[in-house]
Amino acid sequence: MGRHLCLKTPERRNTQAMLDKVENAPDLESLPLSDNERLKAESNFLRGTIAEDLQDPITGGFTADNFQLIRFHGMYQQDDRDIRAERARQKLEPLHNVMLRARLPGGVITPEQWLVIDQFAADKTLYGSIRLTTRQTFQFHGVLKPNIKNMHQVLNATGIDSIATAGDVNRNVLCSTNPVESELHQEAHEWAKKISEHLLPKTRAYMEIWLDGKKEMSTEETILGSTYLPRKFKTTVTVPPNNEVDVHANDLNFVAIAEDGKLVGFNVLVGGGLAMTHGETATYPRKADDFGFIPLEHTLAVAEHVVSVQRDWGNRSNRKNAKTKYTLDRVGTDVFKAEVERRAGVTFADSRPYEFTSRGDRFGWVEGIDGKQHLTLFIMNGRILDYPDRPLKTGLRKIAEIHDGDFRITANQNLIIAGVDTAQKDKIEKIAREHGLLDDDTSPQKLNSMACVALPTCPLAMAESERYLPSLIEKVEGLLDKHGIADDHIILRVVGCPNGCGRAMLAEAGLVGKGPGKYNLYLGGNRVGTRIPKLYRENIGEEVILSELDSLIGRWATERHDEEGFGDFVIRQGVVKEVKVSLTDFHA
């Protein structure tokens, strides 16, 4: 039997026990370090024996520690899981390949760069696609080992790298794409780049291994430390009122505060994060805490020292409790904040007021205050590929060939053709329409749904996600239609595992993969992404998912208040209890 809405005493007791444990936490340093700490320490600043593995023609994979170390260089070893069992019977190893995640602060990429990655995806990847992701960047899926070095060199030649887009480091820095307030966006984007550069590993391992750079053995990691961070670390720069980056999914957020259209500083939000582990109540998604306001000149110091406090205080024994959010709950937000103030030599002022009013992208054309035109395209699942009736990839290539502005990948996995001269507008729109990139009939439900990659490439996926979403959306659209609200939508997110890539833990309805065809259904996030949803039904298949949604959408359609979103409705109705403080409420 699945666990249902109202948790009974055993779970409560567990939560209480866990709280006690956290409050009386033993000195973490006395616990044995996790194996990842050993491998980082022994890696010679992320070099390991990756170069040797590249020379090994007997396997398409990386061995031992290198399997983990390549993540710090922006790659994950994966395989085609659809044919894993088949290949085992064929006495062949899994079809090992790597996924590369580029470093693209704020998701900005030029047309010249686009043409380069378009070509590489076509020539050297198993799937021939470009995948836009929630980290505002692109991924190549299915690059075989002999092509990896070439991939980095091709990217490098066009000014792109993949340093630290994965692993226990500060990853690709997000930035709102807000194309309308162009100057503010420009400033925010500059900060995103500066923060990214500032927190980047200093080791030359990437240049040496992939770009045949000169060997320099001495490296000092002044910020990240020689064993890097306890766990992954995510940073955003956000321009309200749009919360497309989902601040509460990130360890560190700089929320832009402007006066008279000029950026003056940031509210700093620390300790968000969505990853959890099924069945482990000591893990939970958690919102970020507001540390207060800082003026611009302290930005890098604060960024550096939120990182350094987490570096020193984060849990290096248990990787499942290693993220900043757990450090905050263990030591107390005030204690953590005071340490950041002490190290950075700043004092956080009271937060400046700001409001998030939306999270979605503004599809279609908008004009910026600088007079430039911006076209936001909806890209289902962020997957850019030539589909039989929708040659998306070709369309974007044709646009890139004539476009003078840039492209911006949104944190919702969509794409903005930004900075178009009015004269080019019609031409670009024509190409977009001809290639299925622009479709006026895309339903609101489609526009507000999202999935992570999952099968067949992601090794963590427990259930389908990207490949499941399109058919699920159609069925949910049917339900909305059935209840007479076809123009409305639910923020619906599907993820293949509880690790957080698709940000289901900030959805109004989130499905988290549990096993093949089985999901946990979470309800009660809100439209703007400031509330964590709560488990409603566990381990259910599509039939139950749809029948639950059918009855809930039916109630919502008839009983909702004006403009009341689905998530707010289910909380008000007590369908699920509101998660206010994750530590105490999420598993309660």
Residue 101 neighbours by CB under 8 Å, 6+ apart: 74, 75, 76, 133, 135, 137, 138, 139, 162, 165, 166, 172
**Active-site residue identified among 458, 493, 514, 527:** 458
Pick the binder of other proteins from 2, 11, 51, 93 (CB under 8 A): 93
Which C-beta is closer to other proteins: that of 8 or that of 91?
91
Q: Provide the minimum distance between the beta carbon of 77 and other proteins in the complex, in angstroms, as a whole number.
A: 14
Q: Using an 8 Å Cβ cutoff, are 232 and 167 in contact?
A: yes
Distance CA 106, CA 238 (A): 10
Taking the complex as a whole, the smallest distance from the CB of residue 58 to other proteins amounts, in Å, to 6
The correct pick among 92, 157, 349, 369 for binding other proteins (CB under 8 A) is 92
Distance CA 54, CA 56 (A): 6
Residue 384 main-chain phi, psi, to 5 deg: -100, 110
Is 497 among the residues known to form the active site? yes
458 tagged catalytic: yes
CB of 120 to other proteins, least distance (A): 17
Q: Does 83 help bind other proteins (rule: CB under 8 A)?
A: yes
Tokens of 208: 């040496």
- Catalytic residue check, 175: no
Q: 101 an active-site residue?
A: yes
Q: Indicate the Cα dihedral angle 533, 536, 538, 542, nearest 10°.
A: -100
Question: Mask 430-469, x = binds other proteins (CB under 8 A)?
Answer: ----------------------------------------
For residues 425 and 317, what is the distance between their CA atoms, to the nearest angstrom? Answer: 55
The answer to whether residues 282 and 587 touch, using CB atoms and an 8 Å cutoff, is no
- Residue 123 vs 404, nearer CB to other proteins: 123
Is 475 a known active-site residue?
Answer: no
Q: From edge to edge, which strands make up the β-sheet containing 518-523?
A: 449-451, 492-495, 509-515, 518-523, 534-540
Nearer to other proteins, 144 or 460 (CB): 144
Tell me which of 135, 232, 323, 531 is the catalytic residue: 232
CA distances from 76 to 43, 61, 140, 165, 224 (A): 17, 10, 11, 10, 21
Q: How far is CA 198 from CA 165, 233, 357, in A?
A: 14, 14, 31
Cβ-based nearer residue to other proteins, 31 or 88:
88
- Closer of 419 and 456 to other proteins (Cβ): 456
d(CA 340, CA 320): 23
Output 58 or 217, the one with its CB closest to other proteins: 58
| Number of shown-chain residues binding other proteins (CB under 8 A) | 16
Residue of 47, 71, 124, 171 marked active site: 171
Binding to other proteins, residues 40-79 (CB under 8 A): 57-60
Question: Which backbone phi and psi does 216 adopt, to 5 degrees?
Answer: -130, 110
- Residue closer to other proteins by CB (options 75, 239) is 75
Q: What is the dihedral of CA 222, 227, 231, 232, to 10 degrees?
A: 50
| Catalytic entry in 204, 234, 446, 514 | 234
- Minimal distance, residue 562 CB to other proteins, in Å: 56
DSSP per residue, 301-353: HHHHHHHHHHHHHS-SS-GGG-SHHHHHHHH-HHHHHHHHHHHHT--PBPPPP
Run of H or E residues at 450:
strand 449-451
Phi-psi region of 320 (alpha: psi -120 to 50; beta: other; left: phi over 0): alpha
Interactions with other proteins, residue window 137-156 (CB under 8 A)? 144, 146
**Residue 330 is a catalytic residue:** no
Q: Which of 91, 259, 261, 389 binds other proteins (CB under 8 A)?
A: 91
Q: Is 6 part of the annotated catalytic residue set?
A: no
531 is catalytic: no
- Scanning 31-39, 92-100, 463-471, 551-559 for contacts with other proteins by CB under 8 A, the matching segment is 92-100
| Minimum distance of other proteins from residue 90's CB (angstroms) | 5
Instruction: Name which of 28 and 95 has its Cβ closer to other proteins.
Output: 95
User: In angstroms, what is the minimal distance from the CB of 148 to other proteins?
Assistant: 14
Give the HSE-up count for residue 380: Cα atoms under 13 Å, Cβ half-sphere: 25
Among 95, 121, 453, 509, binds other proteins (CB under 8 A): 95
Site residues for other proteins per CB under 8 A: 57-60, 83, 86-93, 95, 144, 146
Catalytic residues: 101, 171, 232, 234, 452, 458, 497, 501
